[in-house]
Amino acid sequence: MPDTPLSAAEAALENQRIGGLQVRVVALCTLVQTCDGYDLNAVAWAVPSLIRAWHQPPAMFTTAFLWSSIGILIGALCAGPIGDRFGRRPLLLGSLILFGVASLLSATAASLPMLTLWRFFTGLGIGGGFSGAAALTGDYAPHRLRATMIMASFTGAPLGGFLGGQIVALMLPHFGWQSIFILGGAFPLLLVPALALWLPESPRFLARKQSLSSRQTDLLRRLDIDHAARHAVDVAQGNPVRMLFSDGYALQTILLWIVYFCSLMNLFLFAYWMPTVLNLIGMSPSQAVFASSLRDLGAIFPVLYLGLMIDRVGPERALALHYAAGAVFIAMIALVALPYALLLVATFCAGMTITGSQTGANGTCGKLYPARMRTSGLGWALGIGRLGGIAAPALGGYLLTIGLAPTRIFLSACLFALVAAAATGLLAFRGSRMRVPTSPVVS
């Protein structure tokens, strides 16, 4: 496919300088991802305690895991068209309110069906928050650093999982499982006013508005977009989802969907079942939560190197090798009876390579799709990937039910990591490219 030329306004956005505005957007979007990362793990942290409180076998909680993933799937699929047509900011605010309220209601659940219902609505909010925050970060990132900056914002998810796991491990013996969901609902609701005050809308959506406030005009001026050129920006004009298969993007879209399916299958298999598996092999609920949270700690570190590698040498090599390395650490956890200290190290490394690779995939997706379809590209990749997230709790529950040794249920994740590595390598054959000039051109 031939390169796609850019207008002067688009060239200015693709080459924008990193300053206080860009840092503020990344920081606020990282906080959104922190909420998402915490709430994503919340139900898994609660299950070891709920098994005793409700006298249910572990496999029964597959339903709660499953419907949480279905909610994330639907939220992510809906977020793409909403964010690309109506703006990233309202999508983010609505998503935060939804999963904050649903998380608080989860603390009131007195039965598994009620918990499942509220986790479904929590998932809807998480799905919208993930893709909306990543797309807005991408809009305030220059092309040369887009994968790095999107990955930086996505470190909020493992950070929320790690810090949340440490806090929950301390709270759980004293305040019970309800405290997990109360904390998970209170923080995003407190964050809503901060986002309403300080989070700007995407510059591309502001540029298309017929009338702007003085504050919005000043923001565009800071990005070197003047009044005459501001309408020549890259926003969705038709069906954003249909665009994913047009203009040479079809192969890229299909490969990214395969990567996301396999990657999120692994991520959710560990996120949902690891606390329970560690509890089954002899750890207390608080010890299991602590050990599992090291997976999220490990996932923070790839932002220091993987995003830069993707920006410089492409995902076809950097990300593919990262996925392949993850298969090794998964095999160690699944096949070797490790002492406690070594298990913690292996869990950390698995998080660095498996969850960290998913963060890299988010950066890759945000970098490879142009602005007009960025939220849809991310949202639908996350949505299709959530099919893996839906299959993961069912797979883990089935493998436990048939009597497989608890840690062996993770062995299947090795295959999915290798498939993700192969699909990422095949991105070298994608079609469309976007030419980014080093200085604006005349529109």
pLDDT digits (tens, 9 = 90+) for 178-214: 999 999 999 999 999 999 999 998 887 787 777 778 8
Q: What whole-number distance in Å separates Cα of residue 104 and Cα of residue 186?
A: 7
Write out the two tokens for 364: 């890759």
Report how far residue 399's alpha carbon sits from residue 109's, in angstroms, rounded to the nearest whole number: 27
pTM listed for this prediction: 0.74
- Hey, how many other C-beta atoms are within 10 angstroms of the C-beta on 424? 30
Q: What is the per-residue pLDDT for 443?
A: 37
φ/ψ of residue 4, rounded to 5: -95, 115
- Max mean pLDDT range (12-16, 30-34, 142-146, 285-289): 30-34
CA angle 310, 10, 234 (to 5 degrees): 90
Confidence tier at 25 by pLDDT (50, 70, 90): very high
Position 2 scores a pLDDT of: 41
Distance from C-alpha of 64 to C-alpha of 295, rounded to nearest angstrom: 22
Q: What mean pLDDT do residues 124-133 have?
A: 85
CB 234 within 8 A of CB 329: no
13-429 CATH fold = Growth Hormone; Chain: A; (1.20.1250)
Domain coordinates of the chain in residue numbers?
13-429
DSSP labels, 375-429: HHHHHHHHHHHHHHHHHHHHHHHHHHHTT--GGGGGTHHHHHHHHHHHHHHGGGG
Q: What is the pLDDT of residue 3?
A: 46
pLDDT at 435 over 70: no
Mean pLDDT of 405-432: 89
